[in-house]
Amino acid sequence: MIQGLWWGGPQENGWGLIIIQHGDRVYCALAVYDTIAHTTWFVAPNATWNSNHTVIAGDAYWPRAADLDHYSAGSFDPGSSIGEISVQLDPSGSAATMTYRLDVYSGTKTLVPLFGPILPTGSDDHTDLWWGGPQENGWGVVIFQQGDNVFAFWLTYYGPNHGEPAWILFQPGSKVSASTYAGSVARPFGPQWLGTTYSPQLLQSPNDGTYTLTFDGPDRATLGYFAFVSGSLDLVREPF
Per-residue pLDDT, 7? 97
Per-residue pLDDT, 123? 58
What share of the chain in percent tops pLDDT 90? 89
Over the stretch 15-50, which tens digit does the pLDDT of each residue have?
999 999 999 999 999 999 999 999 999 999 999 999
Residue 168 and residue 191: Cα distance in Å, rounded? 16
Which of 43, 9, 13, 39 is closest to 142 using CA atoms?
43
Residues of the chain with pLDDT under 70: 116-123
CATH architecture for segment(s) 4-113 = Beta Barrel (2.40)
Contact 163, 65 (CB under 8 A): yes
Residue 196 and residue 129: Cα distance in Å, rounded? 30
DSSP 3-state helix, strand, coil percentages of the chain (rounded to 5)? 5, 55, 40
Residue 233 and residue 132: Cα distance in Å, rounded? 7
